């Protein structure tokens, strides 16, 4: 009898622990920005960590609710990023209806699992008209969900901060017409590295904005963290909506020392991050092998080194 009670109690404790650990949105609710921090419905700092899907136009097979479920349950993601390719063939400009369906499968999967989701306008060029149409639709449809975070320009390459800023203000205004509160992530010039330019001239007049900075640890070092420190000191809230451990072309060996330095810096500053990416391309940053099923349920043998390490980082909080 005693044995049965112990088993029952242990099961209950595990169940309760899982219930608390799980369902990040139930726990944190509506997010907002206070100073440089992302905070939850109780005003407590929240640091959301997860992974990005690869470009939807090239890796559509992973854009489904089952993969979201696996990334949450097995990888411990409290957030995922749906990266909607804008410019390439089968991207949003070419195939808007199909593209939205793919992104919505991930959004609806995240809502079902009760985790956060970034709707990422995954572009390297400026396409204001398309962005306004897309975000108007997304904000109207999903803006009442606490799960949603908008990322309005993945990585500007050639535009100045003034150009990115003007574009961002237009898109923010459009989102705010139907969604007054969810967090909006704003890109910075040169693949989200010129955060110091943003810090000298931030967008005024809107709440719940954060700015993105992206790193690939084997390429981007202390100079980029110095820019981040400069921005934080000036009260600029940062989110690392894309990062990984290898060089900026997504290939070559993972530099663990450099990656760990970045992880320490983000932990120290309570900055959340998203690792790139859920894809099976033959390159270091794509975390899956060709053998990986389209709907999660992956064995370790289906993961590449970056997948194994990212999963470990999400599950344990550090890289061994």
Burial of 3 by CB count in 10 Å (0-12 exposed, 13-18 middle, 19+ buried)?
exposed
Nearest distance from C-beta of residue 79 to Mg ion, angstroms: 16
Give the interface segment with Mg ion, choosing from 105-113, 167-175, 180-188, 258-266 (CB under 5 A).
180-188
Q: How many residues bind Mg ion (CB under 5 A)?
A: 4
Nearer to Mg ion, 40 or 179 (CB): 179
Using CB under 5 A, which of 120, 179, 242, 302 touches Mg ion? Answer: 179
Site string for Mg ion, 229-268 (x = CB under 5 A): ----------------------------------------
Asked if residues 209 and 186 have their Cβ atoms less than 8 Å apart, the reply is yes
C-alpha span between 173 and 136 (Å, rounded) = 10
Give the interface segment with Mg ion, choosing from 11-19, 178-186, 188-196, 237-245 (CB under 5 A).
178-186
Give the active site residue among 100, 113, 151, 242. Answer: 242
Nearer to Mg ion, 108 or 251 (CB): 108
Active site residue 204: no
Nearest distance from C-beta of residue 181 to Mg ion, angstroms: 4
Nearer to Mg ion, 80 or 138 (CB): 138
3-state SS track over 199-247: HHCCCCCCCCEEEECCEECCCCCHHHHHHHHHHHHCCCCEEEEEEECCC
Q: Percent helix, strand and coil across the chain, each rounded to 5?
A: 45, 15, 40
Give the interface segment with Mg ion, choosing from 34-42, 154-162, 174-182, 246-254 (CB under 5 A).
174-182
When asked if residue 181 is in the footprint of Mg ion (CB under 5 A), the reply is: yes
Nearest distance from C-beta of residue 145 to Mg ion, angstroms: 7
Residues 123-152 that bind Mg ion (CB under 5 A): 143
- Residues near 318 by beta carbon (within 8 Å), at least 6 away in sequence: 263
Which of 225, 231, 246 has the alpha carbon at shortest distance from 305?
246
Distance of CA 256 to the CA centre of its chain: 21
Nearer to Mg ion, 181 or 251 (CB): 181
Give the active site residue among 100, 113, 151, 155. Answer: 155
Classify residue 288 by its DSSP letter. Answer: B
Q: How far is CA 96 from CA 82, 87, 177, in A?
A: 15, 11, 22
Nearest distance from C-beta of residue 143 to Mg ion, angstroms: 4
Nearer to Mg ion, 31 or 244 (CB): 31
Q: Do β-strands 209-212 and 184-186 pair in parallel, antiparallel, or remain unpaired?
A: parallel
C-alpha span between 288 and 212 (Å, rounded) = 25
| Cα atoms in the 13 Å half-sphere on the side-chain side of 36 | 18
When asked if residue 33 is in the footprint of Mg ion (CB under 5 A), the reply is: no
In three-state secondary structure terms, 89 is: coil
Active site residue 170: no
Q: For residue 44, what is the enclosing H or E element?
A: none
Nearer to Mg ion, 71 or 117 (CB): 117
Nearest distance from C-beta of residue 308 to Mg ion, angstroms: 36
Using CB under 5 A, which of 182, 208, 284, 310 touches Mg ion? Answer: 182
Q: Which residues bind Mg ion (CB under 5 A)?
A: 143, 179, 181-182
Please list the active-site residues. 155, 242
């Amino acid at each position: 009898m005693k044995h049965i009670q112990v088993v029952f109690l242990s099961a209950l404790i595990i169940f309760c622990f899982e219930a608390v650990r799980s369902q990040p949105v139930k726990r944190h609710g509506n997010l907002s920005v206070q100073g440089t921090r992302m905070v939850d419905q109780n005003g407590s700092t929240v640091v959301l960590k997860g992974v990005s899907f690869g470009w939807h136009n090239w890796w559509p097979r992973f854009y489904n609710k089952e993969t979201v479920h696996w990334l949450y349950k097995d990888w411990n993601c409290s957030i995922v990023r749906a990266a909607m390719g804008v410019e390439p063939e089968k991207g949003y400009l070419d195939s808007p209806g199909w593209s939205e369906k793919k992104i919505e499968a991930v959004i609806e999967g995240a809502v079902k699992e009760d985790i956060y989701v970034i709707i990422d306008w995954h572009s390297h060029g400026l396409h204001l008209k398309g962005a306004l149409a897309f975000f108007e639709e997304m904000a109207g449809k999903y803006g009442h969900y606490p799960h949603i975070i908008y990322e309005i320009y993945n990585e500007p390459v050639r535009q100045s901060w003034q150009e990115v800023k003007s574009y961002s203000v237009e898109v923010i205004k459009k989102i705010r017409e139907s969604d007054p509160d969810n967090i909006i992530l704003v890109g910075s010039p040169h693949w989200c590295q010129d955060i110091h330019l943003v810090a000298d001239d931030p967008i005024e007049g809107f709440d719940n904005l954060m700015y993105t900075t992206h790193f690939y640890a084997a390429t981007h070092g202390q100079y980029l963290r110095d820019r981040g420190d400069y921005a934080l000191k000036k009260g600029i809230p940062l989110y690392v909506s894309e990062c990984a451990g290898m060089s900026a072309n997504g290939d070559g060996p993972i530099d663990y020392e450099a990656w760990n330095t970045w992880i320490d810096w983000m932990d120290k500053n309570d900055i959340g991050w998203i690792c790139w990416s859920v894809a099976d391309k033959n390159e270091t940053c794509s975390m899956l092998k060709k053998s990986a099923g389209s709907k999660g349920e992956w064995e370790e043998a289906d993961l590449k080194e970056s997948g194994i390490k990212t999963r470990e980082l999400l599950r344990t909080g550090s890289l061994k």
